[in-house]
Structure 1
Amino acid sequence: MSGHTGPAWRRPAAVLLLAAAAGSADAAADPRWEVGAVALGVDQQAYPGASDRVRRGLLLPYFIYRGDVLRADREGAGLRAFRSRDLELDVSAAAAFGASATDVPARRGLEPLGTMVEVGPRLRWTLAGTREAGRWRLDLPLRAVFDLEHQLAHRGFVLQPGVAWDREGAAGWTINLTAGALLGDRRLASTYYGVPAAAALPGRPAYDARAGLVAWRLGATLSRPLGRDWRVFGFARIDSVAGAANRASPLVTQQTGGTLGLGVAYTWLRSAAAAVD
C-alpha cells in the first residue's frame, strides 16, 4: 500500500517513518536528539495484490528524539505509556504513500489512494535474547488509518501482529527481520479493493470488499554507520495475498509482490545529552 504524489517534505508522517531507518545503532552512545536528512530510493508494489509498481526518489528531513515518554527513533515514533524489562506499551505512528490511477491503471475512475497515516496503541513483548546476541520480539500494533491528502478522512483500522528478530552485529551492522500479517476492517478493505457499482467497467465488475486478512508480510532491514555522521541502509519486503479476504477483488491482479529500498542518512546536529535509555 504505497506510492507517492506531491512534495514529500510536506508529509510529517513520512519524516517520522524514515527516522526509524536513520537512527544510530549503538544504543549506549545515542544522543537525546538528532536532526538530519535522508535520501531514499524505493521500487515497490503499489499495494498488496497490485501488479503495478511505483518507483520514487525522496529527500526528507528527519528528527529523532529519545525521551522517557516521547520517542521517535529507529524503532518507531510515538508516546511510550508503559515499559518494563520485557513489555512496552506505546502510542505509535506509521505511514504509507498512496497511488493514483496513473500509477495503477486498474484503478481508473476510482478515488486515488492518498498518503495513509496510521496512529494507535502498540504492545511490544521481548520474548528472548539481547540486541548484541539477537533478540526476539512480538509486536501487536492496532492503528486507525487516515488519508492525509483527503482532509484526514478516516479509512478504517489495521491490526498488524508480527514477530521480529534483530541484532547489532560486528562492524556496526544492524539487521532486523520481521514476519507477520496485515488485517483490516471493512472500511480499509473497501478503500483498497472495493469497486462501487457506478465505477464498474468491462473486465472490472463491482466488488463489495470484506474485512479480514489483507496480506502476509516478510521483511528485512540492514543498516551500517559510515563514520560519525553518515549511515547507509537498505530494506526489502514481500507481500502475499494468498488466502486474503479480498483475493477475488478485480483490483487484485498479482498474488505476491515485493518492495526494495536503499538510502543514506546524514546527521547534521545532535545533542550532548545522552538518550534516556
Structure 2
Amino acid sequence: MNSVLKAACCACLLSSSPAFAQADPERNLPLWEIGLGGAALSTPAYPGADERVSRVLVFPNVVYRGKVLRADRSGIAARLFSSDRAELDVGFAGALPSDSDEVDERDGMPDLGPLVEFGPRLKLRLADLGGKRRLRLELPLRAVIEARGGLHGRGTTFEPRLAYEMAGERRRWTLEANVSAVLGDRKINRHFYEVAPQYATASRPAYAADSGLLLTRLGLFGSRYVNEDLRLFGYLRFESYKGTANRESPLHVKDSGVSGGLGLLWTFKRSAARARGTATVDPSL
C-alpha cells in the first residue's frame, strides 16, 4: 500500500527512518520544532490499478525528540525500547483515499477511504559502512483502519524493509534507497481485490480474495537543506504486483506502478530546551 498520507500528520512524507549511532548527537538539538510543509504527490489508486490519485497537500511540519514520544522523519511513534543496535516503537502510517467513480474497474463499488495503519515496528542496525553510510532492517506489523463513514478494521499488513542510507556533512543532504515486500491478511486483500456478488458485472465477475503478497517495492528518497529553515525533499517508488496473491482479481489490471512526489519543509519555531537524547539516534541520517 502507499504510505503518503503520513505526510499530513508528521514532518516528512516517506517511510524514511533515522539511523542508529553510538554517539549522542541529539542533546544539542531542540526538543521540538514547528513549521509547515507542502507537497505534490501522485500514486496508483490502489495496488494494481490503472488510474492514479494525485494530490497537493499542505500539512504541519512537527518534530519532537522526546525519549519516548517521537515525531520526525520516521513518522509519529512511541519508542518502547532502544539500544545501539535495535529499536522498537509503535507508530502510524497511512494511504490516500480513492473514489470508485474515478476508477473504471471499480465503477459502482464502494469508495476506498483513507487508511490509517497502526502497530509495532522493530528497527535493526545491520551495518555501519563508514562515511555516514548505514544499512538497516525494519519489520513493521500494522493493523489497518479505514476512515470512511466511521472507523472500520481492514486487516493487517507486514512489510519487511531493507534500507541503505547516507548523508552529507552537517545533514545538508540525505539519501535513502530501500526494498520491501508487503504481505496482507485476507481482510486487507479483500478490501482491495474482492468483488462481492452484488457488484459483479459481465466484465467484472465475482471474486473472493486470498491472503498473501500485496506487492514488492523499490524506493528512493532524498532531501537537501536550502538553509537552516528550509528543506527540499522528493521520492520515487516502483512497485511490482507480479506474483501477488490476487493477481487473478478483475480489479488487478496492471503488474506495476510508480509513485512520486516533491515537497518543501519550512521550520519557523524551535524550542530553547534541548533534547535529552538516548545515545541511539543520529539526526544526520
Common fold: TM-score over 0.5: yes
Residue equivalent to 1:209? 209
Distance in structure 1 (CA, Å) of the matches to 2:98 and 2:15: 23
Counterpart in the other structure of 2:111: 112
1:217-240, CA deviations, whole angstroms, 9 ceiling, x for partnerless residues? 111110011111110000011111
Write the deviation string for residues 217-276 of structure 1: whole angstroms up to 9, x where unpaired.
111110011111110000011111111001111111110110010000111211122333
The equivalent residue for 1:194 is: 194
Matched residue of 1:36: which SS?
strand
C-alpha distance in 1, partners of 2:254/2:17? 34
Q: Check conservation: 2:63, 2:72, Cα contact below 8 A.
A: yes
Residue identity opposite 1:232 in structure 2: L
Matches of 1:47 and 1:272 in 2, distance apart?
43
SS in 2 for 1:18: coil
Q: 1:102 to 1:29 in 2, by over 3 A?
A: farther
Whether the 8 Å contact between 1:21 and 1:233 is mirrored in structure 2 is no
The match for 2:282 is none
CA distance in 1, matches of 2:78, 2:36: 23
How far apart, CA to CA, are the structure 2 residues paired with 1:150 and 1:36? 31
**Contact 2:15 / 2:75 at 8 angstroms: preserved in 1?**
no
Matched letter for residue 79 of structure 2: R
Most deviating of 44-53 and 24-33: 24-33
CA distance in 2, matches of 1:73, 1:148: 24
Any stretches of 5+ residues in structure 2 without a counterpart? 20-24, 278-285
SS at match of 1:102: helix
Q: d(CA) in 2 for partners of 1:262 and 1:98?
A: 19
Aligned-pair identity (%):
41
SS at match of 2:9: helix
- The TM-score with structure 2 as length reference comes to 0.88
Deviation of residue 145 (structure 1)?
0.5
Aligned length: 271
TM-aligned CA distance change 1:24 to 1:83, over 3 Å:
closer
**For 1:76-128, what per-residue CA distance to the aligned partner results, in whole angstroms no more than 9, with x for missing partners?**
32100000110101101101111011332211121111110000000000001
Distance 1:23 1:214, change over 3 A: closer
Aligned to 1:47: 46
Native 8 Å contact 1:114 1:147 kept in 2: yes
Q: Which has the higher contact order (CA 8 A, sep 6+)?
A: 2
Taking the TM superposition and a 5 Å limit, the aligned residue runs for 1:76-155 are 76-129=75-128, 132-155=131-154
Q: CA deviation at 1:149?
A: 2.4
Structure 1 pair 3–76 and aligned structure 2 pair: CA distance change class (3 A)? closer
Q: Deviations over 1:38-66 (max 9, x none)?
A: 11001211121111111111111232211
Residues 246-257 of structure 1 aligned to structure 2 (within 5 Å): 246-257=246-257
Call closer, same or farther: CA 1:118–1:23 in 2, change over 3 Å.
closer
**Distance in 2 (alpha carbons) for counterparts of 1:210 and 1:94:** 23
**Alignment gaps of 5+ in structure 1:** 5-10
Counterpart among 9, 12, 19 of residue 15 in structure 1: 9
Distance 1:29 1:218 in 2: 34
